[in-house]
Structure 1
């Protein structure tokens, strides 16, 4: 209980700090969303409408910064993230909710696949250290250092432009209406193959190298020698003793990766014109749409915190030593 109580206090404080920074940061920047909006619509907005917009966005000069901060918390507790200027004053929650499934679908599946494949390959290479399988490590490491945008453009040039196997952009063909049907789902998978493959290729090297190094470290432990001396099968020693302990650091990294799924892969969504959170953040930045930027940053931050909480719980469940050390 002491372990979980300490972690809960830490994450509550972190969430408060993140939300507070998210409130003050745009207000310390030069200008505000209303000024950016008026600069694009000179002479088209009446003074009464300007004042209404400032009240709507909580930027009216009649209220102090502290009162605006309290109003911001009140809106958050009601699930109101404000309205987007660049999307016709549409609610920010609706815009994020529309983009979120696309990002979670493409980046989430690709992250899970790369973690499972990379961890499995790293386990085998670490167990068979010194074998010919070691050549996979430098190849995967090299691919992980390739700039993402460059690899994405190569994938488009080869598989889309030259071979015409996959489409180069968008999440589905324009002839489809989003619905739960096999035709639409198949078209989404068809469009998402290249972006997902790009994510898997660029992230595979880290999982392989991390798991391989941990396996080599674990194999020198005494309990591995004891397990082998008992006459246990190599497969059982590798999976139940070595891999089970070597994968613990990988789980923390995996949880962080899951948290950053919500943020999406900005470059990937730009290259493939994929309608996810990353592309919405890029559009909001260009339009100086602070409410939308603020809402996306908040969702990304909270998702990372939740992922860290899940990682702590999983780590403590798999390794009781963690609970005992922090409880002292």
Structure 2
């Protein structure tokens, strides 16, 4: 199959997947509660009733009802929902009365400034340590790295973060009146561009970055090691070594290229998580990111914010998977035949 036909086929398949997933979200959140418990159990209706209790928002609530087609059938509401989801028109938050897009734009710099590094650093470190572990498989270094990887995978990131705050923020302040890391009290202004603000930002997010590296690198070490070790057991590696090719050249020219497809696919599932962030980090670290906003939206049944978070997350994942499939098809043309 030619690359253009493969890309077209993958694009159509993933677009269909995206539409189905978005539709299922409406069914699960809006339709099922209504069918099981009755119309009064509709989460959107419950949220609107809460807002309507405040006389200041009575006219605004009526506008929201019209926007979501509440005076129409459930199927008509579904069509309105699908149209809004396709064009990323999420309306206003039911509680802040601000446009959802504006709220996300306000919190997005916080999410990106933290989770870009917290996601990419464990991948890079785990990649190289995984290859080192595989090169020394069966030895002490391999055993040490594998054990460290397992421990890293088991330890929760929030526990690491709490320990960092206790031993490097609370105790130094209590004993010596000095902070090694700051306590999570005042989040930095990430949109202020000056040297002092940058220094405070890096100081503030350092415990969270360290916790992410400690807790998330292990899974990547083990994953990369297993990929490389499984390839090293293949006949082509034995043949290459028998022909006099060194182990380093065999890894570089033959083994590493063959590990790219599964690695690219895992990256495709991991990188969109930068948008969603990690809720427990934002709660413990008092970080005003998108994950904490989504959490509050779920607690308060703020349907527009919930819809925006789910729709954008799904869209980013679909785009990431499409890019991954195209890259894999380029680096390994055999994929197009499947």
Instruction: Say yes or no: TM over 0.5.
Output: yes
Alignment of 1:316 onto 2:329: yes
Alignment of 1:103 onto 2:111: yes
- Structure 2 partner of 1:20: 23
Give me the CA root mean square deviation. Answer: 2.3
Alignment of 1:166 onto 2:171: no
Asked if 2 retains the 8 angstrom alpha-carbon contact of 1:123 and 1:212, the reply is: yes
Match of 1:151 among 135, 150, 160: 160
Moved more, 110-119 or 147-156: 147-156
Please give the alpha-carbon distance, in whole angstroms, between the structure 1 residues aligned to 2:86 and 2:134.
48
Please give the alpha-carbon distance, in whole angstroms, between the structure 2 residues aligned to 1:46 and 1:237.
68
Residue 213 to residue 279, structure 1, CA distance change in 2 (3 Å):
same
Residue 132 to residue 43, structure 1, CA distance change in 2 (3 Å):
closer
Please give the alpha-carbon distance, in whole angstroms, between the structure 2 residues aligned to 1:184 and 1:95.
22
- Structure 2 partner of 1:71: 80
Asked if 1 retains the 8 angstrom alpha-carbon contact of 2:88 and 2:308, the reply is: no
Q: How does 1:112-261 map to 2 (within 5 A)?
A: 112-133=120-141, 134-163=143-172, 164-169=179-184, 172-173=187-188, 178-261=191-274
**Where in structure 2 are there 5+ consecutive unaligned residues?**
34-40, 173-178
Aligned residues: 320
CA positional deviation for 1:86 = 2.1
| 1:144-187 Cα shifts (integer Å, max 9, x gaps) | 112333222112212221242112326744xx572233332232
CA positional deviation for 1:78 = 4.4
Moved more, 143-152 or 264-273: 143-152
Instruction: For residue 83 of structure 1, give the secondary structure of its aligned residue in structure 2.
Output: coil
Please give the alpha-carbon distance, in whole angstroms, between the structure 1 residues aligned to 2:43 and 2:122.
41
Moved more, 221-230 or 47-56: 47-56
Residue 78 to residue 305, structure 1, CA distance change in 2 (3 Å):
closer
Instruction: For residue 228 of structure 1, give the secondary structure of its aligned residue in structure 2.
Output: helix
CA positional deviation for 1:84 = 0.3
Instruction: For residue 276 of structure 2, give the secondary structure of its aligned residue in structure 1.
Output: coil
CA positional deviation for 1:43 = 6.1
Q: How does 1:3-42 map to 2 (within 5 A)?
A: 3-28=6-31, 29=33, 30-39=41-50, 42=53
| 1:278-327 Cα shifts (integer Å, max 9, x gaps) | 11011112222111111111111111111111221222222222112x2x
Moved more, 226-235 or 127-136: 226-235
Please give the alpha-carbon distance, in whole angstroms, between the structure 2 residues aligned to 1:103 and 1:177.
10
Please give the alpha-carbon distance, in whole angstroms, between the structure 2 residues aligned to 1:264 and 1:177.
16
CA positional deviation for 1:243 = 2.2
CA positional deviation for 1:266 = 1.1
Asked if 2 retains the 8 angstrom alpha-carbon contact of 1:140 and 1:205, the reply is: yes
